[in-house]
Amino acid sequence: MFSPISIEFSPGNRIIDNFSDRFSFNLVNRKEKTKINNRTLELDEMVLQTSSSPHTALVITDASIKNNITTSVSHIYLMNSPLTKTIHHASFVTSTEAKLFAIRCGINQACSKENILKIIIVTDSIHAAKKIFNSDFHPYQLHSIAILCELQEFFNSNPDNTIEFWECPSHLKWRFHRDVNKDSKSFYPTPSYPCKTSWDFCKKIDSDNIIKRWKMTF
């Protein structure tokens, strides 16, 4: 349960108070069609620049939902070579939670590698990434706190450490993000409790019948 007095959200201890110059968002300008069309080129150029750096971890994340089970996937690259792939399944969670969890896992894996000075997160859900740094109350703050704790340690370990969030709309089908998206949809998980959905539906029918009888009585 979220604690409103968590130190990560206390004035003076927040990332935005102490490390505002260490994180950034690279967004798509949706008002200009040419900017959107150029996004693939910008992402390719970013990968080209990071491919020669042994100190930059590139994290691509995505999530999908099937049968009320969400699959969160993150691919991590170092010098343009696959480094780590993480896959997690969760039942009855929102897509925003799933994408935040994928970002969380990617950051955790990147921070665990030695000599990483920059982390670049590429996601099609930039609004979820922005929630990490939002200290106002919202239902995803447990994930935010976990990510902020990781980033606090990452930033404190070296004054040169930074993180960038790049927006990559799904419709671009950019090659790296397309691979992650394909992974997230390649699983056909079976719910641990397959009867739950039908049970909820039956309870709804029971409730509706009770209400109908109640109306007939009065």
Phi, psi of 209 (to 5 degrees): -65, -40
Share of the chain above pLDDT 70, in %: 76
Q: What is the pTM of this model?
A: 0.80
pLDDT of residue 34: 62
Average pLDDT of the residues in 38-46: 93
Q: What is the DSSP string of 86-117?
A: EEEEEES--HHHHHHHHHHHHHHHHHTSTT--
Confidence tier at 68 by pLDDT (50, 70, 90): confident
Q: In whole angstroms, give the CA distance from residue 54 to residue 83.
A: 12
Of 69 and 37, the structure prediction assigns the larger pLDDT to 69
Percent of the chain with pLDDT over 90: 48
For 34, the enclosing helix (H) or strand (E) is: helix 33-37
**Of the listed ranges 5-14, 40-49, 61-70, 151-160, the one predicted with least confidence:** 5-14
Q: Over 80: is that where the pLDDT of 126 sits?
A: yes
Mean of per-residue pLDDT scores for the chain:
82
Cα 187 to Cα 67, 105, 164, 175, distances in angstroms: 11, 19, 29, 20
For 135, list phi and psi in degrees, rounded to 5. Answer: -85, -5
Fold of 7-217: Nucleotidyltransferase; domain 5 (3.30.420)
What is the pLDDT, as a whole number, of residue 212? Answer: 53
Q: What is the pLDDT of residue 123?
A: 96
